[in-house]
């Protein structure tokens, strides 16, 4: 009996450990056909051999993840020998999940990320250059500007899904009450001085209490990076480096922007608590009538505002609490220091990865097919319409003809105007310089910007800190000194 108990205990303990080890395993080899990046499929796609392409995809648009099963089915119908296996991820999990897989040497074949993440993964050597695999038909389908964002050096690392402009969003009623000719602003833009006067007019006070601000931008935490990054583009610094690869944020115009950032808060046009206002908070403030202009604004916000308006009309309890009906107006970011406006853009897309082993040509071709399938035609048309984002491929524009979108035509035209002077991609910036700039941004610019917004340091102190870090990183000759 004692012996049986002992044997039983050992068997149980071993079973537990084996099952816990099995649970830790990330490999999914149920079909035997799965081919994670880096491990080659058994034979060529040209011969119709089976292959599986894995994709890690976040909820790009509100209905995007609902369409995964259909997307997998459609892809398989198009390429019967290929299986597209989509792993959904939340936006919150996306970076961490992908980073973990990349550093373990087994990333998915395709991941949906921002084009600004390309240099980070390229530095790791984990991206798959598809320059020699993407066919001329595929390449010619794309508008050239967004496609450039998917490049680093001479390599092409995937296909773009959309190119959205970082704009501002205005409440039509409040803009008109403040006497702002928003149609003219949409067409001709505005300078910082004009913008400053406009947002002053948007402030509504009751005694000492501000009931409505002229302008609220999400700046909490890393969002401070977005705020400053968007503003400096229209201050003669469309990228962190000039064309001759000198670090640009040491220009005197950078200091001017910092002074203006502080000035808008000191005017009372923006809340003094701005440094703690996150994206959710400022959108809530916009829908509840606590601000006239909000930022940053993306095209999809018009859709969100419309949906909330419909809920208010239907007396639906899920409408944002205390919200009012809002006609969302797309507005450009003002220009600073007499510089021409340059729109900040966001280009996200389907980036192609490789594993520890060199992928075979056949597998690479299959990954490219899958990335192109996701980033063009019907899939792209459906997703971009859902986002109110402009189409960037001929095939998506064609597919979108049969789809209806309830967009304000003035906003569509305003976005087109802003895209016409969008900041160009800079694949020429070497990976190591880019990495140093990102480090300065995270370790100096964002923390100092938070302190500047909280009125704990002066614009000059922040400027000096950025300049000091830039000189340490790039040397006196590696920075702009004007």
Partner 1 sequence: MAQQAAKIKKRRLQDDGAWGYLFIAVALVVYALFTAYPVVSAFIISFQDYKPLGSTFIGFDNYVSTFHSELFWKSIRNTVVYTVLTVPVALFLSFSVAILILPLKKWMQTAFKAIYYLPVVASGVALSVVWLWIYDPMPEGIFNKLIGLFGAHNQNWLGTTTYSMLSLVIMAWLSSHGAAIIIYLAALLGIDESYYEAADLDGAGFLQKLWHIVVPSLKPTTLFLLVTSVIGSFQVFQNAYLMTGGGPDHATTMVGLLIFDNAFKYFEFGKAAAQSLILALIIAVISLFQFKFLGKDVEY
The crossing angle, in degrees rounded to 10, of helices 68-78 and 377-387 is 160
Beta-carbon contacts of 47 under 8 Å, excluding residues fewer than 6 positions away, are none
Place of tokens 């050239």: 144
276 belongs to the binding site for partner 1 (CB under 8 A): yes
> Contact between 453 and partner 1 (CB under 8 A)?
yes
Residue 432 binds partner 1, judged by CB under 8 A: no
Which residue in 33, 312, 454, 471 binds partner 1 (CB under 8 A)? Answer: 454
Alpha-carbon distance of 308 to 144, in angstroms, equals 35
Q: Is the Cβ of residue 17 or residue 140 nearer to partner 1 in the bound state?
A: 17
Per-residue contact flags (x/-) with partner 1 for residues 94 to 123, judged by CB under 8 A: -xx--x--xxxx--------------x--x
Q: Which stretch binds partner 1 (CB under 8 A): 232-240, 271-279, 360-368, 392-400?
A: 271-279
Round to whole Å and give the CA distance between 109 and 236: 38
Q: How many residues does this entry show for the chain?
A: 482
Q: 170 vs 434, which CB is nearer to partner 1?
A: 434
Among 69, 222, 314, 403, binds partner 1 (CB under 8 A): 222
Q: How far apart are CA 253 and CA 232, in angstroms?
A: 8
Nearer of residues 245 and 451 to partner 1, judged by Cβ? 451
Tell me the window of 4-12, 62-70, 156-164, 292-300 that interacts with partner 1 (CB under 8 A).
Answer: 4-12
**Residue choice 33, 361, 451, 473 for contact with partner 1 (CB under 8 A):** 451
CB of 397 to partner 1, least distance (A): 37
Binding to partner 1 by residue 63, rule CB under 8 A? no
Q: How far is CA 179 from CA 184, 206, 331, in A?
A: 12, 20, 15
Site residues (CB under 8 A) for partner 1, limited to 121-180: 123-126
Give min distance, CB of 18 to partner 1, in A: 10
Considering only 64-72, 217-225, 389-397, 417-425, which stretch makes contact with partner 1 by CB under 8 A? 217-225
**Stretch 319-348 residues interacting with partner 1 (CB under 8 A):** none
Query: Which one, of 297, 286, 291, lies nearest residue 320 by Cα?
Result: 286
Q: Is the peptide bond before 296 cis (omega within 30 degrees of 0)?
A: yes
Structure-block tokens of residue 422: 């969008």
Among 49, 431, 435, 473, binds partner 1 (CB under 8 A): 435
Burial class, 68, CB count within 10 angstroms (exposed 0-12 / middle 13-18 / buried 19+): middle
Select from 73, 243, 439, 468 the one that contacts partner 1 (CB under 8 A): 439
Give, for 264, the enclosing helix (H) or strand (E): helix 252-266
Q: What tokens appear for 210 in the block?
A: 């501000």
Q: Could you give the CA distance from residue 214 to residue 203 in angstroms, rounded to a whole number?
A: 5
Tell me how many residues contact partner 1 (CB under 8 A): 48
**Does 19 interact with partner 1 (rule: CB under 8 A)?**
no
Residue 334 contacts residue 192 (beta carbons within 8 Å): yes
Q: Yes or no: say if 224 and 442 are a contact pair by the CB < 8 Å rule.
A: no
Binding of residue 221 to partner 1 (CB under 8 A): yes
Look-up of token digits 């649970």: 23
Token pair, residue 26, equals 């990330």
Nearer to partner 1, 18 or 78 (CB): 18
User: Among 277, 305, 326, 423, which residue interacts with partner 1 (rule: CB under 8 A)?
Assistant: 277
Q: How many C-beta neighbours within 10 Å does residue 47 have?
A: 8
CB neighbours of residue 316 within 10 Å: 11
Our finding on whether 405 is near partner 1 (CB under 8 A) is: no
Query: Which positions lie near partner 1, rule CB under 8 A?
Result: 3, 6, 9-10, 13-14, 16-17, 20-21, 95-96, 99, 102-105, 120, 123-126, 209, 220-222, 271-273, 275-277, 281, 356, 435, 438-439, 442-443, 446-448, 450-451, 453-454, 456-457
């Amino acid at each position: 009996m004692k012996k049986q108990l002992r044997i039983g205990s050992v068997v149980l303990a071993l079973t537990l450990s084996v099952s816990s080890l099995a649970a830790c395993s990330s490999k999914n080899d149920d079909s035997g056909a799965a081919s994670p990046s880096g491990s080659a499929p058994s034979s060529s796609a040209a011969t119709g051999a089976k292959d599986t392409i894995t994709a890690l995809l976040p909820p790009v648009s509100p209905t995007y993840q609902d369409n995964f099963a259909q997307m997998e089915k459609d892809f398989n119908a198009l390429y019967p020998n290929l299986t597209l296996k989509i792993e959904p991820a939340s936006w919150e999990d996306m970076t961490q999940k992908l980073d973990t897989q990349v550093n373990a040497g087994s990333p998915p074949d395709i991941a949906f990320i921002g084009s600004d993440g390309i240099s980070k993964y390229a530095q790791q050597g984990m991206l798959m250059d598809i320059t020699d695999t993407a066919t001329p038909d595929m390449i010619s389908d794309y508008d050239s500007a967004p496609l450039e964002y998917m490049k680093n050096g001479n390599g092409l690392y995937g296909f773009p899904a959309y190119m959205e402009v970082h704009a501002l969003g205005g409440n039509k009623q409040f803009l008109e009450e403040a006497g702002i000719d928003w149609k003219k602003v949409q067409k001709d833009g505005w300078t910082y001085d004009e913008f400053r006067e406009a947002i002053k007019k948007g402030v509504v006070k009751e005694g000492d209490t501000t009931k409505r601000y002229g302008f609220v931008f999400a700046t909490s935490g890393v969002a401070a990076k977005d705020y400053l990054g968007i503003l400096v583009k229209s201050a003669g610094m469309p990228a962190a480096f000039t064309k001759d690869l000198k670090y640009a944020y040491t220009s005197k115009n950078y200091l001017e922007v910092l002074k203006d950032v502080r000035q808008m808060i000191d005017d009372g046009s923006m809340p003094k608590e701005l440094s703690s206002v996150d994206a959710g908070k400022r959108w809530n403030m916009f829908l509840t009538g606590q601000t006239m202009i909000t930022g940053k604004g993306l095209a999809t916000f018009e859709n969100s505002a419309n949906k909330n308006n419909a809920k208010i009309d239907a007396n639906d309890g899920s409408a944002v609490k205390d919200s009012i009906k809002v006609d969302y107006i797309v507005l450009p970011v003002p220009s600073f220091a007499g510089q021409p406006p340059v729109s900040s853009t966001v280009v996200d897309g389907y980036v192609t990865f490789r594993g520890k082993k060199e992928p075979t040509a056949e597998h690479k071709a299959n990954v490219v097919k899958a990335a192109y399938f996701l980033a063009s035609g019907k899939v792209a048309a459906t997703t971009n319409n859902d986002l109110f984002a402009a189409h960037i491929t001929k095939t998506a524009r064609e597919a979108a003809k049969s789809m209806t979108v309830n967009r304000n035509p003035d906003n569509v035209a305003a976005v087109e105007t802003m895209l016409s002077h969008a900041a160009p991609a800079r694949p020429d910036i070497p990976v190591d310089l880019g990495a140093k700039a990102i480090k300065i941004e995270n370790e100096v610019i964002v923390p100092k910007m938070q302190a500047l917004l909280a009125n704990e340091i002066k614009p000059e102190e922040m400027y000096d800190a950025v300049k000091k870090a830039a000189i340490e990183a790039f040397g006196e000759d590696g920075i702009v000194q004007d």
